[in-house]
A and B are shown apart, each in its own frame.
Chain A
Amino acid sequence: MLNAAKTQGDPVSLNEDNLWEVPNVFDRPRYLLDDVQTSIFHIGPSNFFRAHLAKMAHDIMNKASDNNEPLNMGIIGASLRSPTIKNDLMPQNGLYCLTTKGVGVEDHEIIGSVRKIICARENAQEMITAAADPSIKIITLTVTQKGYYIGKEGLDIDHQDIKNCLDPSNPELSTLGLLAHSLNYRRLNGIAPPVIVSCDNLPNNAAKLRTALAGYAVHVDPELPAWIANNVPFPTTMVDRITPSKSENHTAEIKALGVVDSNPVLTEPMPKIPFVIEDLSEREGPIGQVFRDSGIMKFADKEIGARLSPKVGAYEHMKVSVLNGAHMALGVVGHQMGYKYSHEAMKDRNVREFVSQFMDEVIATLEPLEGTDYNKFKAEVIYRLDNEFVCDPLTRLARNGVDKVGQRFLETGKKALSHNLPSDCVNFATAAWLQYTSKLTDDGYLPSQMPAVTRQREKGLDVDLPNDEKGGAMKFPALVRDNKNAMAVIFSETTIWGQMGTEPRFTERVEEHFKDIEDDHMPSALLNFVNRDKKDFDSSPGTPSVGMP
């Protein structure tokens, strides 16, 4: 017996043979791993993927096992560069622990849907063949925006990765090369096409992938782009589940609970709408057929969590404007209140009230969306912001404002103005962002962050640069700093404001709030703001937070 010598209390090494010795605090797969057939090929097996798609595929198989249905949602993970995840998970037979923590929630589950992980660096051809295998019906991706190689004109043909990938003597495979070659293999060998599902957190993710792939495919075979266009479904998706990167504390915690897992995942409770997939099932011809036959519709089940919809953009818009909008509003306001983390700032009643009012304002501008109660979505956002286990730094929530303020604040502001709805929370949040921005260095960081950034750089490590693709935008902090009394100069930055910079109903209010924050500092300005509609509210100094209803 392999584990005969093991004494009680010793942690169990996670693998298939030891699965039944895993302590009961961990939920285990209710299906037999040996019975699982793989039909999903996933490119980029990230932590997010393991908390999201792999968890849902796992749930589908648990349910299938209960109902004696085929266990065919197994996943082959494909890592293009780093072998780390393969080296971590393959000795564990693909098993890993997924920990879910939220306010009042703590679950640990052993996920069994990832049956194999391969690495392109080790064998690119094997990977192409695996992706083209007839048993693979669904190809999913979480490769981040960088993995799409989208340039100004569709495919970024000058990108070094693409050049490498197009060079037959160079075995370095890119996402697009893998997809194009495997699709061409299917085309030439009469193998039915897969559905290709981008699960990256990008608006119009499918269109971006499809466009870049069309640009690449023509170099593989001139006939390939038309074959892809006529045969391969690319549903747009919206994805949502905050999943922090690996933490050693979490690994130690799992070990203390009795399991040795070299790469566990910690995540928040599954949101109510974690996955929306564009419904292509009604399409005529091969696109509809492939979509219906792929098994992707199994994710669209109340118990699993995804939904099918023709309006993925509306869900994306809800997420960006309500959730991400609240993130940014909380980040810039909370930081100036002196807090460090999301859950800390949310304990402050004025911050909490502001975030709540902000979301009400956003929600009023949204068009109705079938099966979606925006107020429930809002309540869930507050629950998520309260989650101390996610431990989101406010500086992370506030970063890259130059790129994000348009979608997160200004679109809501425009919509509110066009419908004569209130938009003063957006104005206040914008003013707070400008104040926050004025404190940044030209590098886009707060001075307090600079020592850590410098240390990272000295070690030669990648620094998660704010606005790393927009060098010019970094001039903005200085512009704000130098023009605190000449807001017109700030608003003339059309790349940020567009036509909102000449909209007096917006600029005048932002300017007022900016001055209030400048003169009174955030705690007092915020207190006055959240109580702006209360007539008998005494805003004189010395009485903040006293006598609040």
Chain B
Amino acid sequence: MPESAQKKAQGNPMRLNAQNLGNIPSSIARPTYDRNALKCGIVHMSVGGFHRSHQALYIHDLMQKNPSDWMISGVGMLPSDSANVTAMNEQDVLYSILERTTNGDELKICGGIKEMHHAPANPMAVVERLMDPDVKILSLTITEKGYCYNQQGDLDLTNPNIKSDLESPENPKTAYGYIVNALARRRKAGMKPFTVMSCDNLPGNGHLTQKLVLQFATQISKELADWIKAEVSFPNCMVDRITPVTTPEIVDLIENEYGIQDKWPVVCEDYRQWVLEDKFCNGRPAFEEVGVQLVKDVEPYEKMKVRLLNGSHSALSYISYLMGYRRVDLAMADPLIAKFVRTYMDKDITPSVPDVPGIDLDKYKDKLIERFANKAIGDQVQRLAEDGSQKIPNAILPCIRYQLENGGSIKFAALALAGWFRYLSGVDETNELIEIKDPAKAKMQDRIKVEPKDPTGVLGLDEIFGDVGLNGKLIGAVRDALTSLHEKGAKKTLEEYLAGA
């Protein structure tokens, strides 16, 4: 990194906190607004890397430009979030964002989040926080599995946490437990509700969240559900920014290169996008001032993004892992994988992507490939491969369904699924163990391990694949790809698949 020498910190590194904010090098942007004077208008559930590189930065940008009472109150939802909540609080809820491009890095200090809570430590304190009339939006990045829905897209009432939240509302565990509890209290108190804004990669995230919240509320009271339906807005949105997991190396780099001790920084690409439906029942920040696209219909943007970006991400992750790659940029530097991704996009995804106003799809795909290949951020293959059972039904299966109905190609999508199933066998091509993270791991492996080359069993899991899994054309195409992966290996298989493409 040629610039690193200039950035090299002088003297002892300093801990990131409000007191030290004035002392950090002037080349590093930091909040210049009075964070203490501004109120929280947003409560955000599940503060992870993505929220901090995306929504919290948009809010930060807005505060820089036009300070207002729209700061974020962050909530860690899982027991394992405890350490990160503590780390954030110890540094006055400030954190650094390292934006990395091949042309160099840029570090900035983000102040968009004002406070942090750990929900499992005191669930009712979070419900109380939601009763503050200044809180007008509740936003979510709880990932697919946080929504607890089944293959029909309905709330999974057999989920133990959902059961628990319905039985003991005073000790919520899921987002629904908090949301519905707080909304019920607001209704009782004659207060205005808050907008519920999902920022997860789900098809029609606002619509789906509304449906699931209403199904949860219906279990408690029909009147409550009717009130939520009438009074609460659930805007749809499309969010985009590649944000890898923060590794210890990044913590060290920020200390060594910039002289800042930050226990939990965030690293991301320089690209970001947020397309948001303008539907807020209790006011909203002036998002349009900081580059958020406010539109009437988010669906085409979301389909384009989830199918092309998230679909390719999943597809490339398994094949890359099998070929021995652990970093996305290194995988994309392999011409076979780069060609696979582009061919998969062009032949199997693009036909089902609708026209998107103002977007040239070819350029969008070029940009995606460039983003995937970003050496500076070095995204983790493993991160993309996690939770396939939650991601693939949204990102890949809708394209397969479309292609089957329209007689289009599913060859590369089938190879993507086969790569996933091969990966789920748990042992890689050199007989090393694969560590797999997925809530459906046991269920899928139970069907794959007894018949590694035949996908009929695993595709028959209707809670994941629905009727698409019974389609003979898909079964045949996946069987071919899976057999080839087992017999010839990933590299040879890719070569053969791409030979005519």
Q: Identify the A interface with B (CB < 8 A).
A: 150-155, 203-204, 206-208, 210-211, 214-215, 225-226, 229, 236, 282-284, 310-314, 316-317, 320, 406-407, 411, 414-415, 417-419, 494-495, 498-500, 503, 505
Contact = CB atoms under 8 A, between A and B. Distances in A.
Given A204-B451, A498-B487, A314 B431 contact: no
Interface string B428-457: 011111000000001101111111101011
Contact of B487 (A206, A225, A284, A495): A495
Interface stretch (B21-29, B102-110, B244-252, B464-472): B464-472
Contacts of B443: 310
B193 to A, nearest CB: 29
A316 B150 contact: no
16 contacts: A153-B476, A154-B456, A154-B472, A204-B450, A204-B451, A226-B467, A229-B467, A236-B447, A284-B158, A313-B449, A313-B457, A414-B427, A498-B487, A499-B430, A500-B431, A503-B431
B494 to A, nearest CB: 15
A154 B478 CA distance: 11
Given A214-B470, A418-B433, A494-B488, A207 B450 contact: no
A407 B457 CA distance: 15
A153 B150 contact: no
Interface of B: 150, 157-158, 426-427, 429-433, 442-443, 445-452, 454, 456-460, 462, 467, 470-473, 475-476, 479, 486-489
A204 B476 contact: no
A511 B429 CA distance: 21
Nearest to A320: B450
B493 to A, nearest CB: 11
A204 B457 contact: yes
Contacts of A316: 450
Contact of A152 (B157, B426, B476, B488): B476
B100 to A, nearest CB: 34
Given A495-B487, A499-B486, A152 B479 contact: yes
Contact of B450 (A152, A407, A503, A505): A407
B450 A154 contact: no
Nearest to A203: B450
Given A153-B473, A203-B451, A204-B454, 20 more contacts: A153-B476, A154-B456, A154-B475, A155-B472, A204-B451, A210-B470, A211-B470, A214-B470, A310-B442, A310-B446, A313-B448, A317-B450, A414-B431, A417-B427, A418-B427, A495-B487, A499-B429, A499-B430, A500-B431, A503-B430
A337 B122 CA distance: 70
Given A229-B462, A284-B157, A203 B487 contact: no
A414 B422 CA distance: 13
Contacts of A284: 150, 157-158
Contacts of A500: 431
A414 B426 CA distance: 10
A207 B444 CA distance: 13
A324 to B, nearest CB: 11
A528 B429 CA distance: 32
Given A204-B456, A418-B433, A211 B449 contact: no
A498 B451 contact: no
B446 A314 contact: yes
A166 to B, nearest CB: 15
B124 to A, nearest CB: 30
Contacts of A313: 445-450, 457
A419 B460 contact: no
A154 B467 CA distance: 13
A229 B150 CA distance: 15
A494 B487 contact: yes
Contacts of B458: 207
B484 to A, nearest CB: 9
B486 A498 contact: yes
A326 B351 CA distance: 51
Contacts of B430: 499, 503
A417 B431 contact: yes
B442 A311 contact: yes
A409 B476 CA distance: 26
A225 B427 contact: no
A414 B451 CA distance: 14
B450 A418 contact: no
Nearest to B471: A154
A150 B434 CA distance: 31
Nearest to B479: A152
Contacts of B462: 229
A302 B427 CA distance: 36
Contact of A211 (B431, B450, B475, B487): B475
B486 A225 contact: no
Contacts of A283: 158
B390 to A, nearest CB: 19
B434 to A, nearest CB: 8
Contacts of B433: 418-419
Given A284-B150, A312-B446, A411-B449, A150 B427 contact: no
Contacts of B426: 418
Given A150-B456, A211-B460, A313-B447, A418 B431 contact: yes
Contacts of B488: 494
Contacts of B454: 203-204
A204 B467 CA distance: 17
